[in-house]
Amino acid sequence: MNIGQFAEVTGLSAHTLRYYEKIDLLTPVSRDSSGHRQFSQKDIEWVAFIKRLKQTGMPLKGIKEYAVLRSEGDTTLALRQRLLASHAEFLAQKIKEDQQNLLALEQKLAWYAERLDH
């Protein structure tokens, strides 16, 4: 599939996909005879994982580090696992903080509701 189709399937703009290619996060499977990028199902899955990492707050630097390790093959499985485990710890702490912040907001909203109902 070409970059336009790939953009539609992944939900990312062609501009973003070209940027990911520029910073070596994404490597098209091949180029057709006209030089147009061609992407595969494996690329779709990889971009979905990149998007997931971004949604969890992983910095682009960390995603790039993971991508480099991924490109080096199975010899880096343990390193990739550690990188993701470290990020999972960060995410768990962030969720805990977010839950505490939500609780504080809910308490403040209850305070307002009590005063406005009287």
pLDDT tens-digit series, residues 36-88:
788 889 999 999 999 999 999 999 999 999 999 999 999 999 999 999 999 99
First to last CA, the chain: 63
CATH 1.10.1660.10 fits 3-116, yes or no: yes
Contacts 24+ apart (CB under 8 A), 20-26: 20/47, 20/50, 23/60, 23/64, 24/64, 24/67, 24/68, 25/50, 25/63, 25/64, 25/67, 26/50
Q: What is the pLDDT of residues 4-43, one digit of tens each?
A: 999 999 999 999 999 999 998 998 767 777 777 888 899 9
Q: How far apart are CA 25 and CA 60, in angstroms?
A: 9
Using DSSP's 3-state secondary structure scheme, residue 30 falls into strand
